């Protein structure tokens, strides 16, 4: 029997309504879902199976403290459902730090993994998306951790995106080996000498402009830099789209021309929309935890549930465990 | 008598032709220019005053070694012209690291400055541009250096962009004081306790998406993160523009509608074009050094010469010296 995906019904800026709607949509297309939260606050949950949880971790709470003190929160109960084999995996659009902490404390780490890392899928129009890892779990990193991120990122690119032999780049500020800060220089030496093993094809340093390009399949970085890159990309793409829409309104082109242009931009916008990819995955914990954007809509949640289900079917955790060599 | 701006005639991907053209354009609009380079290789330099230099620092040479060994390079001679009071300031579109090293070794540092930093002007449509500092000079930084970057960035925003009381933000991965890596957390404490002095209005942490917004006038970060942000922005804006042009071509809108739209996008594109801003400025050295993008056109060089001339007229270096408190 297939286990359901545990969904944190109370986490996210648009919870619970969009979360419940997304869970119902996923159920309708054949996913098994266990919705976790306070039944009195989640509205019409229809045929969804419910796991009651009375508390809510707020978006700006201290992650470790929230997980420690709110034992009956939807987030903690979702993680426990996975630990207790009542669910195959979990999805949350709530407090990212708390979701990581809940998964880490309740699942434990994969043997040999020093630190779990967040893998985010960055759309690249016309090409396979880029995996950015770590995109926010670990603000301060050691070179050995980054070597593991390379190993885990390569597995993720292969399993999730079907890249047979992912090219792994190290995010730095110049392509030459000597460019970067002390962390990237030491990491470069390790990766270049094959510390990540034969399954990681290290292609050297890449730069910020390469993240949205076909230059690499996996971009490895510390969680501080990765998160800054992610938010810079989000901001600039939103900014560019607003510019274009503003210019379109001001240009005086007639409605049919404007509609035609918007019609050809929409598929691109959909391809670039982070919601299409359904959220980031926490790599290195002993279970599947999908972390959706805080502003997730029903569509994003439904996609995240699909991602979680596929990761379980593809035995992502087992494949990560097989690929990681213990950090020095 | 006004001293000329020394221009490195041989530095940049499009040197010497675009550099010479830019220098001539600047001369025509009233700037004094001293073009530095090999007369035999710079083509028709017209009425430009020339300082002969036989060597060229290539784009990918090791900066410190290049400056040490190529004593008769256009870059080193340009810096020496400033040191020897034959020029007021210098402009180079060549090897960024070498330009920094030449300025640092030949000008020296402003008293009390621990490390010079690069200030880049990021366009924000409809609002005053944001100053990003450090955008690439120091890959590894201490909190005390970042406090000085805040002081220098505030002076630069005031002098260059006319912001009476610049709001200074610290680039991090969340707005709360506790968010970030060890560097940003320590820097936050220092800035929040007033270590940068009463002239720096510290507004707390900002995120990657705020760099292109009106959220702060100055964004302080280490040179690694700053350079990654800059290249991510460059890449994503170019990417977005290509998407729009592609969509326009594919949309089948008629030529007049398409022209109208492009006509209303062009002023925005010009406002977003880094060339409009004429290059970054190295803050903290005892002289004015403007570092232009490697791909600088004649227009970018002419603008950079204007920036250098204005920085001298506005006594930028003296104002920086007055604002910086010695780093602990």
pLDDT value for A325: 78
A 26-55: CB under 8 A from B? none
The average confidence (pLDDT) of chain B is 92
Per-residue pLDDT reduced to its tens digit, A108-149: 999 999 999 999 999 887 889 999 999 999 999 999 999 999
For residues B22 and B46, state if they share a domain: yes
| Same domain assignment for residues B87 and B127 | no
| Claim to verify: residue B141 and residue B253 sit in the same structural domain | yes
* pLDDT for the residue numbered B263: 73
The mean pLDDT value for A219-226 works out to 98
CB B110 within 8 A of CB B285: yes
In a domain, B327, yes or no: no
Q: A254 to chain B nearest CA, in Å?
A: 7
pLDDT at B1: 64
Least confident of A77-86, A269-278, A300-309: A269-278
- The tally of domains found in chain B comes to 2
Look at residue A328 and tell me if it is in a domain.
no
Give mean pLDDT, residues A245-267.
72
Instruction: Assign residue A203 the CATH number of its domain.
Output: 3.40.718.10
Mark whether A65 and A145 lie in a shared domain.
no
Would you state the pLDDT for residue A133? 98
Q: Which of B126, B79, B85, B71 is nearest to B103 (CA)?
A: B79
Q: CB-CB: which of A173, A241, A263 is closest to B227?
A: A173
Residue B267 confidence (pLDDT)? 67
Cis-peptide, bond into residue B29, ω within 30° of zero: no
Phi and psi at residue B225, to the nearest 5°:
-60, -40
Q: Which residue of A has its CA nearest to B254?
A: A257
Nearest CA distance, B175 vs chain A (angstrom): 10
Residue A323 lies in a domain: no
Q: pLDDT value at position A123? A: 85
CA A1 to chain B, closest CA, distance in angstroms equals 41
* A171: chain B residues, CB-CB within 8 Å: 228
- Give the B window 211-240 contacts with A, CB below 8 Å: 211-213, 222-225, 227-240
Judgement on whether residues A234 and A144 belong to the same structural domain of the protein: yes
Q: How far is CA B6 from CA B70, B90, B97, B161, B306, in A?
A: 18, 5, 18, 23, 12
Contacts of B136 in chain A (CB under 8 A): 173
Cβ atoms of residues A116 and A285 within 8 Å = yes
Best of A243, A255, A266, A293 to substitute, by most chain B Cβ atoms within 10 angstroms, is A243
Question: What residues of A are in contact with residue B252 (Cβ under 8 Å)?
Answer: 260
Average pLDDT over residues A275-301: 90
Any CB–CB contact under 8 A between A135 and chain B?
A: no
Binning pLDDT at 50, 70 and 90, where does residue A301 land?
Answer: very high
Give B19→chain A minimum CA distance, Å: 24
CB-closest option in B236, B243, B265 to A247: B265
Contact flag B243-A139 (C-beta cutoff 8 Å): no
Mean pLDDT for the stretch of residues A225-248: 83
B123 and B218, same domain (yes or no): yes
pLDDT of residue A2: 85
Residue B325's pLDDT is what? Answer: 78
Among the ranges given (A166-175, B8-17, B265-274), the one the predictor scored with the smallest mean pLDDT: B265-274
Q: What is the largest CA-CA distance in chain A?
A: 63
Query: Is the peptide bond prior to B194 cis by the omega test (within 30 degrees of 0)?
Result: no
Q: How far apart are CA B201 and CA B213, in angstroms?
A: 18
Residue A225 confidence (pLDDT) above 90: yes
| Closest to B168 in 3D by CA, of B152, B180, B144, B186 | B152
Q: pLDDT grade, residue A37 (50/70/90)?
A: very high
C-beta atoms of A237 and B233 within 8 A: no
Do B188 and B149 lie in one domain? The reply is yes
One domain for residues B291 and B307:
yes
**Contact between A173 and B211 using a beta-carbon 8 Å cutoff:** no
- Asked if residue B256 has pLDDT above 80, the reply is no
Give A328 or A228, the one with higher predicted confidence: A228
Sheet of A5-8, strand order = A49-52, A33-37, A5-8, A89-92, A288-291, A280-283, A117-122, A130-133, A218-220, A167-171, A201-206
A2 in any annotated domain: yes
B20 and B149: one domain? no
CA distances (Å), B75 to each of A141, B245, B297, B304, in order? 37, 38, 18, 15
Q: Are residues A153 and A219 in the same domain?
A: yes
A147-172 tens-digit pLDDT: 999 999 999 999 999 999 999 999 99
CA–CA distance from B190 to each of A296, B135, B193, B327 (Å)? 36, 21, 5, 11
Count of positions (residues) in chain B: 328
What confidence score (pLDDT) does residue B271 get?
63
B235 lies in the same domain as B303? no
Asked if A65 reaches chain B (Cβ–Cβ under 8 Å), the answer is no
Distance from CA of B57 to the nearest CA of A (A): 17
Report if residue B42 sits inside a domain: yes
The pLDDT of residue B164: 95
In tens, the pLDDT along B19-61 reads: 999 999 999 999 999 999 999 999 999 999 999 999 999 998 9
For the ranges A245-254, B237-246, B264-273, the lowest mean pLDDT is seen at B264-273
- Whether residue B69 lies within 8 A of chain A, CB to CB, comes out as no
CB pairs A-B closer than 8 Å: 171
Q: For residue B212, give both structure tokens.
A: 């292109």
- Tokens 């289900």 sit on residue: A309
Closest residue in B to A268 (Cα–Cα): B243
Q: Which residues of A touch B186 (CB under 8 A)?
A: none
pLDDT of residue B269: 67
Residue B188 lies in a domain: yes
Query: What does the pLDDT look like over B51-88, one tens digit per residue?
Result: 999 999 999 899 999 999 999 999 999 999 999 999 99
Task: List the single residue in B125, B176, B228 with the smallest CB-CB distance to A228.
Answer: B228
Suggest the residue from A115, A136, A224 to mutate for an interface test with chain B (most B CBs closer than 10 A): A224
Residue A44 has pLDDT above 70, yes or no: yes
> At residue A103, does pLDDT exceed 90?
yes
Lowest mean pLDDT among A276-280, B133-137, B198-202: A276-280
- One domain for residues B177 and B148: yes
Taking only residues 162 to 201 of chain A, the set having a beta carbon closer than 8 angstroms to any beta carbon of chain B reads: 171-173, 176, 178, 180-182, 184
Minimal-distance CA residue of chain B relative to A179:
B139
Nearest to A236 among B233, B251, B261 (CB): B233
* Sequence-ordered alpha helix ranges (H) in chain B: 17-28, 63-69, 74-83, 96-107, 143-161, 182-192, 223-250, 255-272, 298-313, 316-323
The ipTM (two decimal places) reads: 0.91
**How far is the C-alpha of B165 from the C-alpha of B100, rounded, in Å?**
28
Residue B328 covered by a domain: no
In this complex, the residue of B180, B181, B228 whose CB is nearest that of residue A173 is B228
Specify burial of residue B78 (Cβ count, 10 A radius: 0-12, 13-18, 19+).
buried
B254 within domain boundaries = yes
- Any B CB within 8 A of A105 CB: no
At A277 the pLDDT is: 66
pLDDT at residue B240 above 80? no
Whether residues A181 and B241 touch (CB distance < 8 A) is answered with no
What range defines the domain where residue A302 resides?
1-111+284-316
Phi, psi (rounded to 5 degrees) for A218 = -130, 130
Residue B239 distance to chain A (closest CA, Å): 8
Q: B120 pLDDT band (50/70/90 cuts)?
A: very high
Mean local confidence (pLDDT), B144-167: 97
B 245-264 residues inside an 8 A Cβ radius of A: 247-248, 250-254, 257-258, 260-261, 263-264
């Amino acid at each position: 029997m297939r286990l359901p995906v545990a969904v944190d019904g109370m986490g996210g800026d648009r919870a619970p309504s969009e979360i419940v709607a997304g869970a119902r949509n996923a159920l309708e297309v054949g996913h098994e879902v266990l919705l976790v939260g306070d039944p009195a606050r989640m509205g019409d949950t229809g045929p969804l199976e419910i796991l009651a949880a009375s508390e809510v971790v707020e978006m700006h709470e201290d992650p470790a403290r929230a997980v420690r003190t709110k034992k009956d929160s939807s987030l903690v109960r979702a993680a426990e459902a996975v630990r207790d084999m009542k669910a195959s995996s979990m999805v949350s659009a709530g407090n990212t730090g708390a979701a990581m902490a809940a998964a880490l404390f309740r699942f434990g780490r994969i043997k040999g993994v020093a630190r779990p890392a967040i893998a985010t899928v960055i759309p690249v129009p016309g090409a396979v998306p880029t995996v950015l890892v770590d995109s926010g779990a670990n603000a301060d990193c050691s070179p050995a951790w980054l070597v593991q991120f390379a190993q885990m990122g390569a597995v993720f690119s292969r399993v999730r995106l079907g890249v047979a032999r992912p090219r792994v780049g190290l995010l730095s500020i110049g392509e030459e080996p000597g460019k970067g800060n002390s962390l990237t220089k030491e990491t470069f030496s390790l990766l270049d000498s094959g510390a990540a093993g034969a399954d990681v094809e290290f292609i050297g340093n890449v730069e910020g402009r390469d993240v949205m390009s076909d230059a690499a399949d996996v971009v490895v970085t510390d969680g501080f830099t990765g998160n800054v890159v992610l938010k810079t990309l989000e901001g600039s793409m939103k900014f560019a789209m607003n510019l274009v829409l503003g210019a379109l309104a001001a240009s005086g082109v007639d409605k049919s021309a404007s509609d035609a242009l918007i019609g050809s931009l929409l598929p691109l916008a959909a391809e670039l929309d982070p919601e299409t990819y359904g959220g980031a995955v926490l790599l290195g914990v002993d279970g599947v935890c999908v972390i959706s954007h805080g502003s997730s809509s029903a569509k994003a949640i439904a996609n995240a549930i699909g991602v979680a289900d596929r990761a379980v079917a593809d035995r992502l955790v087992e494949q990560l465990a097989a690929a990681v060599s213990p950090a020095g």
